[in-house]
Structure 1
Amino acid sequence: MKDSLSYILNHLGEERSKYFNAVSPPIIQTSNFVFDSFDQFRNAIANEDRSHIYTRGNNPTVQILRKKVAALEKTEDALAFASGSGAIAAAVMTFIRSGDHVVCVDNPYSWTKTLFNMVLPKFGVSVTYVDGRSLSNIESAIRPQTKILYLESPNTATFALQDLNECAKLAKKHEIMTMIDNSYCSPIYQNPSDYGIDLVLHSGTKYLNGHSDVVCGFVCGSHAHVKQIFQFATMTMGNILGPAEAALVLRGLRTLDLRVHRSHMTTLEVVAYLKSHPAVDSVLYPWDESFAQFELAKQQMKGAGGLFSIILDTDNREKIEQFCEALNTFLFAVSWGGHESLILPFCSLLDIPGHPDPEVPVNLIRFYIGLEDADYLIQDLKQAFEATFPSLS
């Protein structure tokens, strides 16, 4: 009963008798905590990863959230950070040193790639990118100095998957730590720890919060690994989630299961419509039978949520822009996981000074399906196609 989703989302970690039997946990908005005795003070300092001394380390409101996210990912512990990229950087930098090597799958989240390409080389750490759809590609990239295998399954543009079970086995054989960005699936649709992955990372800004009003990140793993990250990255770098933001994410978690399922079911209808339209060359969605890795998706995922991409049947950037501009309901934005439906045309990221071009087709448009009705979204797509490709409508 205590490992059920309903219990985790609604009750785990919430000791209501300690705060006036309030239904919702209070925001403990304090920087500092006091002690009644010398011995209490000394014991707390000796166990700072489990004590409330200073909110840079632990805060009661944040701790409730940590317990819930860890339980959702079926791990022993979790840490909360001020952003998803902060969580990723904290996890990676805790477990590497100068001279080490990282194997990372192709096309990871852009700021993960910035960490690997711009930050780590300054400290003598090298990175090799591989097509993670093939285990042999990963194995060929491993060196004696390899310390981390970094996964993103599915990734958030073309949704390439890795076989998590086989990746974990390979990493253990070579004594390599495995990390995965699980933001795409959320804990509702995938639990990488079930397959032996060491650390599970999240941009909690997406589905976990779900209201587009908090930026946050999480690292989930064993007590031992989390303690190492706490001592190195949390306490030293101070990239923490505040109690007010933690309270908002707790609010968001109440409806996590409902929101993710709603988005998934609506997406299935929208994808079916798009696949039938002559202006669409193809749809990339792991939960669609036409997806190249559909069988693997069914094997290690329970669903795919609301994020997918289409490839329009034109590489004319003006036409692509015209189609996107014609949409009224879908908003131009990065991120996903909120109530609002979004589009990210990757050609909008081309030729920007100081920014590398994305490694995806020019005619790829990423969609996120929020909580609107399917018919409402399809009508908007229909009128945009008619305005842009009248001969095909």
Structure 2
Amino acid sequence: MHDKDQTRDPYGAVVQPIYQNSLFTFDSWQAIESAFDDKINNPIYSRGCNPTVALAEKKIADIARGNVLGEVKGKLFGSGMAAISAGMLHFLKANDHIVTLNNIYGPSISFINDFLTPKMNIEVSFISGIDIEEFEQAIQPNTKLIYLESPSSAIFSIQNLKKIAELAKRHGIKTMIDNTWATPLYQKPLALGIDLEMHSCSKYLGGHSDIVAGVLIGSQSLIDAIHVCEYELLGAKIAPIEASLLIRSLRTLDLRMARHQENALKVAQFLDSHSHIAKVNYPGLISFPQADLAKEQMTGCSGLMSFQLATDDLVQIKNFFNSLKLFQIGVSWGGHESLIYAPAIGYFKEQTPMQFAKMGLSFGDMRISVGLENIDDLITDLANALTNIM
């Protein structure tokens, strides 16, 4: 991507130097005292502000801005879960209530059920999120946060972000979204009225399976408030070297996402027409139940999808899973390589039986991340593996 705001290095280095240091020194009492007057924007100690990290944050915010009026800022964290936890904790206090979805990222559910509920007495309402009426009915007097993930994990259902943001504002409720699937290129929640946007930078923003990081994006006042409290006090910083790798990756984000989308649509169409596939969940398909809403609030699709095998025979399911050659087995996604995972493996172990049942998953539901390899090779790999389904 074009670095229109890139500051030229005084030595002419084509790649920005990495400030791999823990602290920054000053010439005088007055100089360090002045830095403390605006420690959010002045490098003093790298747990707070680091020039390499700040540059990566600015570039991500620039991508996410869209037509939002006012300053948009980003704050990088050491992982996606660190960003999610910091964002939720910023909006919540003891005895508050959250409205969220049945199908959000598994560790996000665990953070709510295993941390917020027992330690802060936070109440939670899990809904499908498909209809705005569900949100209206779930709101309580103590509701302080609506937490979204669109498209959602595992089944890729979509929420109407504009309507939800309008509803939340009428009730004085904050909104937060995990926007990792669509990336800030293809979906701009802040422009639709959402207060806080989160991305796992380990996925498409990093794009090379060599970074673990997360980012929060929002208004300057909101991000600055999170910076001085949850970010600094919980200490979940990102290292400068990882921020530098992230800057590298952002340069090719639009190119990589175009290829991910192109490959994924062809894979989804192949699967959608295959007799051994019961259902394909991919917002880019015209057969997707919410295809119109997907086109309305997103400008593109990524490479992550799920499908259900037309069998409940666990032996056949495992044979299909294990016989793939190009689709490697792994829990993450968003890199250049193609991956497969059965979401039920993790969710079944992490969630209560009731919560797992609400997610609508079985061991025959497969999640694939379509990478940047040759599309004919990927389809051939899937076709060969599907011969294991009778």
Distance 2:220 2:98 in 1: 23
| Distance change (3 Å), C-alpha of 1:55 and 1:133 | same
The equivalences for 1:114-153 within 5 A come to: 114-121=110-117, 122-153=119-150
- 1:39 shift after superposition: 2.0
2:52 corresponding residue in structure 1: 61
- 1:361 shift after superposition: 2.7
Per-residue Cα deviation, 1:188-239 (whole angstroms, up to 9, x for no partner): 1111111011101000100000000110000000111001111111110110
2:103 corresponding residue in structure 1: 107
Please tell me whether the aligned partners of residues 110 and 351 of structure 2 are also in contact (alpha carbons under 8 angstroms).
no
- 1:11 shift after superposition: 3.9
1:376 corresponding residue in structure 2: 377
Distance 2:156 2:348 in 1: 24
The equivalences for 1:207-218 within 5 A come to: 207-218=204-215
1:29 and 2:25 equivalent?
A: no
- 1:21 shift after superposition: 2.1
Distance 1:61 1:165 in 2: 34
2:296 is aligned, of 289, 294, 299, to 299
1:50 and 2:41 equivalent?
A: yes
Distance 1:350 1:23 in 2: 44
The equivalences for 1:184-223 within 5 A come to: 184-223=181-220
- 1:171 shift after superposition: 0.6
Structure 2 gap segments, 5+ residues each: 66-70
| Distance change (3 Å), C-alpha of 1:315 and 1:43 | same
Distance 2:159 2:348 in 1: 30
| Distance change (3 Å), C-alpha of 1:318 and 1:223 | same
Distance 1:35 1:282 in 2: 62
Q: AA paired with 2:211? A: V
- 1:351 shift after superposition: 5.8
Aligned partner of residue 365 in structure 1, secondary structure: strand
Please tell me whether the aligned partners of residues 18 and 241 of structure 2 are also in contact (alpha carbons under 8 angstroms).
yes
2:7 corresponding residue in structure 1: 15
Distance 1:351 1:133 in 2: 23
- 1:350 shift after superposition: 6.9
Please tell me whether the aligned partners of residues 317 and 347 of structure 1 are also in contact (alpha carbons under 8 angstroms).
no
Report the count of equivalent residues: 379
The equivalences for 1:318-337 within 5 A come to: 318-337=315-334
Per-residue Cα deviation, 1:131-190 (whole angstroms, up to 9, x for no partner): 211111111111111111111000121001100100110011001111000000001111
2:364 corresponding residue in structure 1: 363
Please tell me whether the aligned partners of residues 106 and 347 of structure 2 are also in contact (alpha carbons under 8 angstroms).
no
1:72 corresponding residue in structure 2: 63
Q: TM-score, normalised by structure 1?
A: 0.93
Q: TM-score, normalised by structure 2?
A: 0.94
Per-residue Cα deviation, 1:104-151 (whole angstroms, up to 9, x for no partner): 122110111111111112112221111211111111111111111111
Q: AA paired with 1:378? A: I
The equivalences for 1:173-322 within 5 A come to: 173-322=170-319
1:41 corresponding residue in structure 2: 32
Please tell me whether the aligned partners of residues 279 and 307 of structure 2 are also in contact (alpha carbons under 8 angstroms).
yes
Aligned partner of residue 332 in structure 2, secondary structure: coil
Q: AA paired with 1:369? A: V
Distance 2:97 2:176 in 1: 14
Per-residue Cα deviation, 1:51-71 (whole angstroms, up to 9, x for no partner): 110000000000000000111
Q: AA paired with 2:377? A: Y
Distance 1:256 1:351 in 2: 33
Q: AA paired with 2:75? A: L
- 1:356 shift after superposition: 4.5
1:88 corresponding residue in structure 2: 84
Distance 1:129 1:16 in 2: 49
Distance 2:169 2:239 in 1: 35
Please tell me whether the aligned partners of residues 131 and 138 of structure 1 are also in contact (alpha carbons under 8 angstroms).
no
- 1:281 shift after superposition: 0.9
| Distance change (3 Å), C-alpha of 1:350 and 1:245 | closer
1:3 corresponding residue in structure 2: none
For the aligned residue pairs, the C-alpha RMSD in angstroms reads 1.4
Distance 1:313 1:138 in 2: 33
Aligned partner of residue 296 in structure 2, secondary structure: helix
- 1:274 shift after superposition: 1.1
